[in-house]
Amino acid sequence: MKNSLIIILLFLCSTSFSQQTPPGYIRLGDPAPDFTAETTQGTVKFHEWLGNSWGILFSHPSDFTPVCTTELGAVAKLAGAFARMNVKVIALSVDSIASHRRWIKDINETQHTTVNFPLIADPKFEVANLYGMVHPNAMEKATVRSVFIIAPDKKVKLTLTYPASTGRNFEEILRVVESLQLTAKYSVATPANWMHGNDVIIVPSVKDEDIPGKFPKGHTTVRPYLRTTPQPNL
Ligand code: BEZ
């Protein structure tokens, strides 16, 4: 009797564990793991710091490296666009705060900008491991170039992993945020290579008869499953 009880308990525990996301393995729709970390702008409690904003968390292999220097400069130059879209950005590198501060001075000088977002110091790889930013077969002791877009409900909406040698295109990341914000508000999706101002796709769950009420700007039926309409929020 006692043995069967133990077996049942073990089974229940293993089932409930198997349904949880293991640390470092983050899939779309998962809650973004919360953390507290030291940054160049003081201690950040991640979820509290995000508040009702969208968030972009992105990692770098290390301080004082050329590609990373250009990336942080590029993000700093997009500060106005991020603010208009209600997006807070936060970068991570496993080096120390002192190193980050020296590096930011360099970035400002060489990229002709002002880094105005926090840079997490993660010397123990705590946040890096929580978010699966270390890919040991690519780089053993550094984070790869990860990006996570997080919605105001703290759910992960995009994950992206680039190799150390390829700088990311932050205009593309902004484009995804705009698409996500649009699709969160309207029953639309965005087609291949969509850019701000282009027509969007009416999602298949909208019935033909409901289109005029939902999309008063008009629509085009290319195929019954492919219906487009002008971007609704312009
Ligand atoms: C860079 O940021 O420039 C870089 C970092 C690690 C490996 C290669 C390039």
pLDDT tens readout for residues 135-155: 999 998 899 999 999 999 999
Kind and range of the H or E element at 106?
helix 97-111
Q: How sure is the predictor about 57, in pLDDT bands with cuts at 50, 70 and 90? A: very high
| Cα 39–chain centre separation | 18
Distance 61 CA to ligand 1 centre (A): 6
pLDDT (0 to 100) of residue 3: 55
Which of 165, 166, 168 to mutate to test ligand 1, by most ligand atoms within 8 A of the CB atom?
165
pLDDT (0 to 100) of residue 17: 42
Establish whether 13 is a catalytic residue. Answer: no
Query: What single-letter DSSP state applies at residue 176?
Result: H
Contact status, residue 71 vs residue 77, Cβ threshold 8 Å: no
- pTM (2 d.p.): 0.89
Dist. CA 43–CA 120, nearest whole Å: 9
What confidence tens digit (pLDDT) does each residue in 62-112 have? 999 999 999 999 999 999 999 999 999 999 999 999 999 999 999 999 999
